[in-house]
């Protein structure tokens, strides 16, 4: 394989005997045919001008060749190729050349061949180009400057030079003109190829930028045609958001319609019908993802025509609204529970006044009845019924967070372990109880009796959800809820918590039941079994203690209740300190009784 230096030496050697190559017109034509073939397959300008060099050296007594491209608007030339003193010159840093009175400039300006027999005289007063040919002791003495034109438009020119005076004949000039025509066409072809490559690269870059933008969005960008919708483009987020790979969307025209939520399908399909071209619509619906998840989707879509006035193509963006819907549901749930709590608290307060009067007067009545009186048994039934009603009132007060609590700092895991024997008796033999705890569990500040009631109520609820037996796991641990979790759970403050998790393997709950489980008197049990206040009491106690309770459940997949209570420092002093009772006052003091219920006020 020859090197670049070898090639230059070969060209130089052939140049020294170039005058011998013009032995006949046929030889020149053969060289032109070779030149045309070389230039016809060239894909870059360097290849074109090297072929031109080979032809010039083979057919003329040249010692140097210079090719420049012409900018008619700027009126300047740019040297793009030069060969002299037996080697190629580095023209990459040469400045653009102004149009002067030099042979090359005049040839380009007039679109004519300029033959110069005394080059030194012609260049007097003209700017020189600082290139390596100046080191050649044999200064060029003559030249032929030939314009390169395509359809009469000059695009540049090239000049061959010789160290001999009047070295170029008319045959040389003719050969250079034919070579110039081929070089001009080849130059334009390469330029067209370059522009095509640049346009293709720009288009590919633009498309890649678009794809990067589209695929980087946390939304599905799509294009679909026909009815049912045949997707022709789907962004990559489709797989992350809905679980189906992009190719599945493109291959299955029924994918979208068949995975619409059954309750939303008819309304959703109708919402897309009858849209005119250019019309923008927003549709919200539920979509069944590949893993069975229900995903709320907002589809912002624009119709467009595909021909004949038909608007069967649509372009749109699908946005995942699931988290937003969940947050909205949490806000509504919190507002509902707050409203129900106020209502329950008001009812419990009024009802408690009535019970106070009933129980009080009942005690007075029983104090006046002899032990053998038959009416005493009736009065006893009244007392028992009133006490049961008072217990229900207490649960309503717990739900409405109006109880008087006595919080103390305690170890939640110790409380649960002390309750374990009683819990096992409540659960029965068919339910296996497992208790797990974090060795470094933090402390909480709660009313001990109330937190015990919470654990018992959850255990009883789990037992009733496992009529054929199962497993109940109560675990505790430390957790730190960050701002992200707080943002996803309305009303939850970020911070350090102790979490108690109660999980069963029972029948589970659907979304409808989950939406009501903390409401007073809501129950899935048969009528007459249970009060429907167990979980409502749990909710009220935990919220009044500054904590939160969340439930996770699916039908036939069991239920998990998570209770979050603020963690406190180990050395924290209990919030309440027992107060020693003072001696009872006696004498003529006056007692003020403030009570809005007349019956209670009279009783007191």
Which region holds residue 401: left if phi is over 0, alpha if psi is between -120 and 50, else beta?
Answer: left
Angstrom distance (rounded) from CA 538 to CA 453: 8
Mean pLDDT, to the nearest integer, of 532-549?
Answer: 81
State residue 68's pLDDT score. 92
User: Under CATH, what is the fold of the domain 4-195?
Assistant: Beta-Lactamase (3.30.450)
602 versus 531: which is more confidently predicted? 602
State residue 475's pLDDT score. 93
Mean pLDDT, to the nearest integer, of 152-163?
Answer: 92
Lowest mean pLDDT among 154-168, 297-311, 449-463, 502-516: 297-311
State residue 451's pLDDT score. 87
Q: Which DSSP category does 218 fall into?
A: S
List, for residues 370-425, the tens digit of each pLDDT value: 877 777 777 778 877 777 776 666 655 555 545 556 788 999 999 999 888 888 98
Chain centroid, CA 587 distance in Å = 78
State residue 471's pLDDT score. 93
State residue 14's pLDDT score. 42
Mean pLDDT, to the nearest integer, of 56-83?
Answer: 91
Angstrom distance (rounded) from CA 329 to CA 404: 31
Angstrom distance (rounded) from CA 225 to CA 517: 45
Alpha helices in 17-76 (DSSP H): 25-40, 45-59
Lowest mean pLDDT among 75-79, 91-95, 188-192, 374-378: 374-378
State residue 168's pLDDT score. 92
**Averaging pLDDT over each range in 27-41, 388-402, 573-587, which range is the top one?**
27-41
State residue 130's pLDDT score. 39
595 versus 434: which is more confidently predicted? 434
Angstrom distance (rounded) from CA 21 to CA 29: 12
443 versus 369: which is more confidently predicted? 443
Q: Where in the chain are the domains?
A: 4-195, 220-320, 327-399, 407-568
Give every CB contact of residue 48 below 8 A, 6+ residues apart in sequence.
Answer: 39, 42, 183, 186, 187, 190
For 272-300, letters b (16+ CB in 10 Å) and e give: beebeeeeeeebebbbbeeeeeebbbbbe
Helix axes 448-464, 412-427, angle to 10 degrees: 40
State residue 92's pLDDT score. 85
pLDDT exceeds cutoff 60 at 19: no
CATH code given to domain 327-399? 1.10.287.130
Angstrom distance (rounded) from CA 16 to CA 57: 8
Helix axes 534-544, 375-399, angle to 10 degrees: 50
Quickly state the pLDDT bin for 176 (edges 50, 70, 90).
Answer: very high
What is the percentage of the chain residues whose pLDDT exceeds 90? 27
Helix axes 4-16, 45-59, angle to 10 degrees: 30
Q: Give the phi and the psi of residue 16 in degrees, each rounded to 5.
A: -65, -25
CB 337 within 8 A of CB 518: yes
State residue 513's pLDDT score. 84
State residue 134's pLDDT score. 43
pLDDT exceeds cutoff 90 at 520: no
List the structure tokens of 336: 């509902």
Give every CB contact of residue 262 below 8 A, 6+ residues apart in sequence.
Answer: none
pLDDT exceeds cutoff 80 at 433: yes
Quickly state the pLDDT bin for 486 (edges 50, 70, 90).
Answer: confident
List, for residues 211-258, the tens digit of each pLDDT value: 778 777 889 899 988 766 789 999 989 999 999 999 999 999 889 989
| CA-to-CA dists, residue 239 to 212, 226, 321, angstroms | 16, 22, 16
State residue 313's pLDDT score. 80
State residue 13's pLDDT score. 43
Host H or E run for residue 578:
none
* Coil, strand or helix at 283: strand
CB 318 within 8 A of CB 298: yes
State residue 602's pLDDT score. 63
407-568 carries CATH number 3.30.565.10 = yes
Mean pLDDT value across the chain: 80
State residue 22's pLDDT score. 45
Same fold for the pair 4-195 and 327-399: no
SS3 content of the chain, % helix, strand, coil (to 5): 45, 25, 35
* Coil, strand or helix at 224: strand
348 versus 502: which is more confidently predicted? 502
Angstrom distance (rounded) from CA 167 to CA 138: 14
Mean pLDDT, to the nearest integer, of 536-547?
Answer: 83
State residue 302's pLDDT score. 86
pLDDT exceeds cutoff 90 at 358: no
Longest dimension (CA), the chain: 156
Mean pLDDT, to the nearest integer, of 134-148?
Answer: 77
220-320 carries CATH number 1.25.40.10 = no
Residue labelled with tokens 């037992």: 463
Quickly state the pLDDT bin for 474 (edges 50, 70, 90).
Answer: very high
């Amino acid at each position: 394989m020859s090197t670049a230096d070898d090639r230059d030496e070969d060209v130089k050697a052939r140049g020294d005997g170039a005058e011998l190559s013009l032995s006949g017109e046929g030889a020149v034509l053969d060289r032109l045919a070779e030149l045309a073939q070389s230039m016809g397959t060239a894909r870059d300008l360097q290849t074109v001008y090297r072929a031109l060099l080979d032809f010039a050296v083979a057919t003329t007594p040249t010692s140097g060749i210079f090719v420049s491209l012409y900018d008619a608007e700027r009126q300047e030339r740019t040297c793009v190729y030069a060969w002299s003193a037996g080697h190629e010159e580095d023209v990459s840093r040469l400045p653009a050349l102004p149009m002067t009175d030099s042979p090359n400039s005049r040839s380009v300006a007039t679109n004519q061949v300029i033959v110069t027999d005394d080059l030194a005289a012609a260049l007097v007063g003209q700017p020189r180009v600082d290139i390596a040919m100046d080191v050649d002791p044999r200064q060029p003495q003559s030249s032929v400057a030939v314009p390169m034109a395509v359809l009469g438009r000059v695009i540049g020119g090239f000049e061959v030079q010789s160290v001999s005076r009047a070295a170029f004949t008319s045959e040389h000039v003719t050969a250079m003109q034919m070579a110039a025509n081929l070089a001009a066409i080849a130059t334009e072809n390469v330029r067209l190829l370059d522009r095509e490559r640049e346009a293709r690269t720009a288009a590919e870059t633009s498309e890649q930028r678009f794809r990067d933008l589209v695929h980087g969005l946390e939304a599905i960008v799509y294009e679909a045609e026909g009815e049912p919708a045949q997707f022709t483009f789907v962004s990559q987020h489709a797989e992350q958001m809905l679980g189906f790979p992009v190719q599945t969307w493109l291959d299955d025209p029924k994918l979208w319609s068949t995975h619409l939520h059954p309750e939303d399908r008819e309304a959703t399909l109708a919402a897309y019908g009858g849209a005119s071209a250019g019309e923008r619509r927003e549709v919200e619906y539920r979509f069944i993802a590949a893993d069975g998840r229900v995903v709320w989707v907002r589809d912002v879509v624009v119709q467009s025509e595909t021909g004949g006035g038909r608007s069967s193509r649509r372009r749109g963006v699908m946005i995942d609204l699931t988290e937003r819907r969940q947050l909205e549901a949490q806000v509504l749930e919190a507002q509902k529970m707050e409203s129900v709590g106020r209502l329950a608290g008001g009812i419990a307060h009024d009802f408690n006044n009535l019970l106070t009067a009933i129980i009080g007067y009942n005690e007075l009545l029983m104090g006046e009845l002899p032990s053998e009186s038959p009416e005493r048994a009736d009065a006893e039934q009244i007392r028992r019924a009133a006490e049961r009603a008072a217990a229900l009132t207490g649960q309503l007060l717990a739900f409405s967070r109006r109880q008087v609590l006595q919080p103390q700092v305690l170890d939640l895991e110790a409380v649960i372990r002390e309750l374990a024997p009683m819990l096992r008796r409540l659960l029965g033999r068919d339910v296996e109880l497992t208790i797990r705890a974090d060795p470094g569990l933090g402390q909480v500040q709660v009313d001990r009796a109330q937190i015990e009631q919470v654990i018992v109520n959850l255990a009883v609820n789990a037992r009733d959800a496992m009529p054929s037996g199962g497993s109940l796991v109560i675990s505790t641990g430390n957790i730190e809820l960050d701002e992200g979790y707080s943002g996803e759970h309305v009303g939850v403050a970020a911070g350090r918590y102790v979490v108690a998790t109660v999980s069963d393997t029972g029948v589970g709950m659907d979304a409808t039941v989950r939406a009501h489980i903390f409401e007073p008197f809501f129950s899935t049990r048969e009528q007459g079994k249970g009060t429907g206040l167990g979980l409502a009491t749990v909710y009220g106690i935990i919220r009044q203690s500054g904590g939160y309770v969340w439930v996770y459940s699916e039908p036939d997949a069991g239920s998990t209740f998570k209770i979050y209570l603020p963690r406190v420092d180990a050395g924290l002093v209990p919030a309440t300190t027992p107060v020693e009772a003072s001696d009872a006052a006696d004498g003529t003091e006056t007692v003020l009784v403030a009570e809005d219920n007349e019956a209670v006020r009279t009783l007191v």
